[in-house]
Amino acid sequence: MRRGLMAWDRDEIPPGAMEARLERLRVEMKHDGLDAFVAYTNIARGAAVCWMTGFTPYWNEGLVLVGATGNPLFATALSKRVADWISSVMPLGDVETTPKPSGLIGSLIAKSGAKRIGILELDDFPAGHAQAILQSVEGLQLVDATATYALARDAMDDVELRLLATANRLAGASCAAAKVDAREARDFIAPPESVARLGGAEECFALVAQDLSKSGAFLRTESLGALGETFAARVSLAYKGVWTRQTRSFARDRAVQASFDKAALALEHFRPEAAASISDQIARSFGSLGRIVNWVAEQPRGSCPLAPVADLANTPQAKVPATPFVLNLELEIAGARWIGARLTNL
Amino acid sequence: MNTDAIKARKVALQEAMEREAVEVLVLFGNNWHADHLRYATDFGIQEGQGIAIVRDDGSTTLILDDAAECERARAEAPTLDAIFAPSLMLEVKRQLARAGNHKIAAAPYHLLPFGLLHGEKDLRVSDGASIVDHLLMRKMEVEIASVRRAAKLADQGYAIFRNAARPGRKDYELVAEMEGFFRANGVAENFMIIGVGGVEVRGMAPPSGKILKKGDLVTTELTPCFEGYYAQICRTLVVGEPNDAQRSAFAQYLESMEAGIAAVKAGVTAAHVAKAENDVFRKYGLGEYVTSEYTRVRGHGMGLFPDQKPQILEDVHIVLEAGMTLIVHPNTYHPAVGYFVLGDSLVVRDDGHELLCGTPRELFSTILQ
């Protein structure tokens, strides 16, 4: 669950910026002939609703209804006692708490006379909510509006870029707090989590690849044992709903650590040219440091806070995204696995 | 990893499927509702979504839509058949098509992807709640062992919380200390909300940057998760010395919680426990504050989900069974002092209960420097 700082600072997220986002969505809705737009949210799939309203439910679930005019409505199954709190931390939208949010959304759609409803990620939309909305009005048409949303969401505005910069700073401080001399992986990763949350992170997932000589998989604290000779920390965190990741690799051996530091520095300074091939630019910047094993570029997509937008295995010819992205990179440096991740092109 | 619990759950699930004559069970999960998926696979999902397909021959396939999560699943559970599929819905459809005309059930049914059920005339999937819900509520002894460990961690965690709660600190800084402690002690998840202030505070929520000051009540629910199982503790502390109203309120909540706990035993209903708690409030003229205007539940079940059935309410007539794990908490608003919480986790036994929390039932206070 979200248990870090959840607060709204008007200087950080001015209402006008949120209204501009809503307007962009309405332009696309009109273009696609949608009478209304509905998006689902929970802690795993909160990115779209957060982009529209500035809020992610810390627990439970909710739906946002965007009509042709007026404020979006956030309907949530959270207790009515937290409705005022939600209103105080949600920059845009009205709040209704109800045990059946889709029933409420359906009744509002019925009242408005809307017939063609765009649903974000219709195939993945929870079936129970879809059925409840469909049952509310005869002849209602639910259409997939993932592309509609994507067009509205395409650019990153100044508000998002500023929040991303804060998230990036927090992720850097968090990774730097890893207790590198710890024997147990749990002791290694506990300080980064505290540092992220002390800095105001809304959420933090701190994972460890405890022995890079055996595996590059990042595990949760419940599965961890002793650290190996080389190991890595991966911190994924949200600040005011904006997510980033950072990964740092460490080695007990000083010479290996020195080669890891070089790779980390190269990643920190990596500024690929927009619209050029990512693969080519990664090869140019990192090829001399080691063998390029894998890379994955991530950005927010639909309801996912971070999702792959390009990777070596499936889209090796992909171009550099126009907006900042998280680059996850794996190299083999003199026989050792090195993994890094950073926000790129901010 | 509690391997005994994993094995026992697998057997219990197979038996339940056989009883209901279900050949394929589809279980959906994400970081919010991870319980069904965890029951079948022991995988604690963090990012993205997943579906487990459990077959009547005992084989299970875990399908995840996040590649890094799939890599983690393979590392944490090497015997698990884990598949990465960017489209969960398409992969599950493909897998179910292979199952042919088998009898398929799914849970939690309402959260299943719409595309999986919609427009598939040949794919008949029924609601699998009757198979899974009871397994999630009534725990086996090997599962209770993990809940017991989680409760100990809740006690230890609350001690950290008390020490962290000092005047001038921000509410989220308390959470940060807690989370560092939990990560260092193998706790991967924690459900936690907090309230800071006085009569203006109507409930708990995530921290919003409030600064602790003298006289504030600081309420929290801590719910660490150990080996997938949650246990909860609820306590209230005062920044500085409690005043008479705060002491008096605490005495009422303590009497209510103890009345509720005393009412717990196998064979009684959740409503019976709620009534025992609420009668104490009514006795003190506070009956208004046990309604849904001021409180959600008077306790609830816990296990692989931190807030599972049975909800302890006067209109919930689920019969308590030995092996259910609950928290009894008469948490609600008090007109004289604000939102106030007190609760302990326990196991329902045939003749009463086994208490899991060991933190003293006190109105704690922080020392002012």
Same domain as A225, residue A96: no
Q: How many angstroms away from the CA of A161 is the closest CA of chain B?
A: 22
Per the listing, tokens 């949120």 go with: A18
What whole-number percentage of chain B has pLDDT above 70? 99
Residue A40 class from Cβ within 10 Å (0-12 exposed, 13-18 middle, 19+ buried)? buried
| B193 interface with A at CB cutoff 8 Å | yes
The secondary structure of residue B296, as a DSSP letter, is S
ipTM: 0.96
Same domain as A183, residue A96: no
What pLDDT is attached to residue A293? 98
What pLDDT is attached to residue B122? 66
Q: Please name which of B80, B30, B50, B84 lies closest in space to residue A296, comparing C-alpha atoms.
A: B84
Let me know how long chain B is.
Answer: 369
Same domain as A257, residue A165: yes
CA gap B51, A302 in Å, rounded: 20
What pLDDT is attached to residue B124? 83
Distances (CA, A) of A139 to A30, A32, A39, B110: 20, 19, 20, 22
Of A119, A134, A153, the one marking the end of a domain is A153
* B292/A80 CB distance under 8 A: yes
User: Average per-residue pLDDT in chain B?
Assistant: 95
A147 φ/ψ angles, rounded to the nearest 5 degrees: -70, -35
- Residue B91 corresponds to which tokens in the numbers above? 């992969």
Same domain as A172, residue A146: no
Q: Which of A85, A127, A216 sits opposite B205 (nearest CB)?
A: A85
Residue B341 has pLDDT above 70, yes or no: yes
What pLDDT is attached to residue B369? 62
Helix H or strand E segment including B15: helix B3-19
Q: What is the CATH number of the domain that holds A149?
A: 3.40.350.10
Query: Is A4 part of a structural domain of the chain?
Result: no
**Arithmetic mean of pLDDT, B104-125:** 87
**Arithmetic mean of pLDDT, A178-207:** 97
**pLDDT band at residue B73 using 50, 70 and 90 as cut-offs:** very high
Window 74-93 of B, Cβ < 8 Å to A: 74-76, 87-89
CA gap B267, B280 in Å, rounded: 22
A325 φ/ψ angles, rounded to the nearest 5 degrees: -145, 160
* B191/A204 CB distance under 8 A: no
Residue B119 has pLDDT above 80, yes or no: no
More confident of the two residues B123 and B294: B294
Distances (CA, A) of B126 to A95, B21, B23, B105, B258: 33, 12, 12, 5, 42
Q: Which of B172, B186, B189 sits opposite A4 (nearest CB)?
A: B172
Of A153, A181, A202, the one marking the end of a domain is A153
Same domain as A60, residue A182: no
Phi/psi class of residue A149: alpha, beta or left (left: φ > 0; alpha: ψ in -120 to 50)?
alpha
Same domain as A232, residue A194: yes
**Per-residue pLDDT reduced to its tens digit, A274-284:** 889 999 999 99
In this structure, how many other beta carbons lie within 10 angstroms of the beta carbon of residue A293? 14
The one-letter amino acid at B356: L
Is residue B276 within 8 Å of residue B262, measured between CB atoms?
yes
Residue A182 has pLDDT above 90, yes or no: yes
Contacts of A219 in chain B (CB under 8 A): 72, 75-76
Same domain as A270, residue A145: no
* A3/B206 CB distance under 8 A: yes
Contacts of A221 in chain B (CB under 8 A): 182-184, 186-188
**pLDDT band at residue B102 using 50, 70 and 90 as cut-offs:** confident
Distances (CA, A) of A161 to A156, A196, A336: 7, 19, 35
Contacts of B1 in chain A (CB under 8 A): 222-223
| B184 interface with A at CB cutoff 8 Å | yes
Q: What is the CATH number of the domain that holds A195?
A: 3.90.230.10
Query: Is A268 part of a structural domain of the chain?
Result: yes
**Arithmetic mean of pLDDT, A74-99:** 94
How many folded domains does chain A comprise?
2
Is residue B104 within 8 Å of residue B125, measured between CB atoms?
yes
Could you give the domains of chain B? 3-136 (3.40.350.10), 141-366 (3.90.230.10)
Residue B101 has pLDDT above 80, yes or no: no
* B208/A206 CB distance under 8 A: no
| B3 interface with A at CB cutoff 8 Å | no
* B191/A304 CB distance under 8 A: no
A187 φ/ψ angles, rounded to the nearest 5 degrees: -70, -30
Query: Is A46 part of a structural domain of the chain?
Result: yes
CA gap A304, B360 in Å, rounded: 43
Q: Closest chain A residue to B171 measured between Cα atoms?
A: A5
Residue of B33, B38, B183 for testing the chain A interface, max A β-carbons within 10 Å: B183
Range of the domain at A238: 158-344
**Per-residue pLDDT reduced to its tens digit, B35-72:** 999 999 999 999 999 999 999 999 999 999 999 999 99
Same domain as A177, residue A126: no
CA gap A52, A22 in Å, rounded: 6
Residue B117 has pLDDT above 90, yes or no: no
Same domain as A147, residue A29: yes
Query: Is A290 part of a structural domain of the chain?
Result: yes
Q: Please name which of B263, B260, B261, B266 lies closest in space to residue B322, comparing C-alpha atoms.
A: B266
Query: Pseudo-torsion of CA A131, A132, A133, A136, nearest 10°?
Result: 120
Helix H or strand E segment including B60: strand B60-64
**Per-residue pLDDT reduced to its tens digit, A213-272:** 999 999 999 889 999 999 999 999 999 999 999 999 999 999 999 999 999 999 999 999
Helix H or strand E segment including B149: helix B141-164
What pLDDT is attached to residue A317? 92
**Arithmetic mean of pLDDT, A2-31:** 97
**pLDDT band at residue A149 using 50, 70 and 90 as cut-offs:** very high
CA gap B137, B157 in Å, rounded: 25
Q: Which of B30, B186, B209 sits opposite A44 (nearest CB)?
A: B30
What pLDDT is attached to residue B156? 98
The one-letter amino acid at B11: V
* Residues whose CB falls within 8 Å of the CB of residue B150, separated by 6 or more in sequence, listed in order: B187, B224, B225, B226, B227, B229, B230, B231
Query: Is A6 part of a structural domain of the chain?
Result: no
Instruction: Give the A:B interface size as CB pairs under 8 Å.
Output: 179
Query: Is A2 part of a structural domain of the chain?
Result: no
CA gap A65, A129 in Å, rounded: 13
- Residue B244 corresponds to which tokens in the numbers above? 């008479």
The secondary structure of residue B205, as a DSSP letter, is B
* A197/B176 CB distance under 8 A: yes
Same domain as A87, residue A171: no
What whole-number percentage of chain A has pLDDT above 90? 97
Is residue A132 within 8 Å of residue A106, measured between CB atoms?
yes
SS (H, E, C) chain A: CCCCCCCCCCCCCCHHHHHHHHHHHHHHHHHCCCCEEEEEECCCCCHHHHHHHCCCCCCCCEEEEECCCCCCEEEECCCHHHHHHHHHHCCCCEEEECCCHHHHHHHHHHHHCCCEEEECCHHHCEHHHHHHHHHHCCCCEEEECHHHHHHHHCCCCHHHHHHHHHHHHHHHHHHHCCCCCCCEHHHHHHHHHHHHHHCCCCEEEEEEECCCCCCCCCECHHHCCECCCEEEEEEEEEECCEEEEEEEEEECCHHHHHHHHHHHHHHHCCCCCCCCEHHHHHHHHHCCCCEEEEEEEEEEECCEEEEEEEECCCCCCCECCCCCEEEEEEEEECCEEEEEEEEECC
Buried b / exposed e over B99-127, threshold 16 CB at 10 Å, is eeeebbbbbbbbbbbbbbbbeeeebebee
* B44/A222 CB distance under 8 A: yes
Is residue B252 within 8 Å of residue B281, measured between CB atoms?
yes
Distances (CA, A) of A133 to A128, A199, B114, B217, B316: 9, 41, 12, 42, 27
The one-letter amino acid at A151: L
In this structure, how many other beta carbons lie within 10 angstroms of the beta carbon of residue A274? 11
Handedness of CA A273, A167, A63, A157 (dihedral sign): negative
Query: Is A22 part of a structural domain of the chain?
Result: yes
CA gap A116, A30 in Å, rounded: 11
Contacts of A85 in chain B (CB under 8 A): 203, 205, 208
What pLDDT is attached to residue A54? 96
Q: Which of A6, A61, A306 sits opposite B32 (nearest CB)?
A: A61
Q: Which of B205, B206, B294 sits opposite A4 (nearest CB)?
A: B206
* A127/B113 CB distance under 8 A: yes
Q: How many angstroms away from the CA of B322 is the closest CA of chain A?
A: 28
SS3 B208: coil
Query: Is A179 part of a structural domain of the chain?
Result: yes
The secondary structure of residue B102, as a DSSP letter, is -
Phi/psi class of residue A206: alpha, beta or left (left: φ > 0; alpha: ψ in -120 to 50)?
beta
Same domain as A209, residue A148: no
The one-letter amino acid at A200: G
A91 φ/ψ angles, rounded to the nearest 5 degrees: -65, -30
**pLDDT band at residue B98 using 50, 70 and 90 as cut-offs:** confident
Of A124, A153, A182, the one marking the end of a domain is A153
CA gap A344, A329 in Å, rounded: 12
What whole-number percentage of chain B has pLDDT above 90? 92
Is residue A242 within 8 Å of residue A51, measured between CB atoms?
no
Same domain as A54, residue A111: yes
SS3 B344: strand
Q: Closest chain B residue to A123 measured between Cα atoms?
A: B115
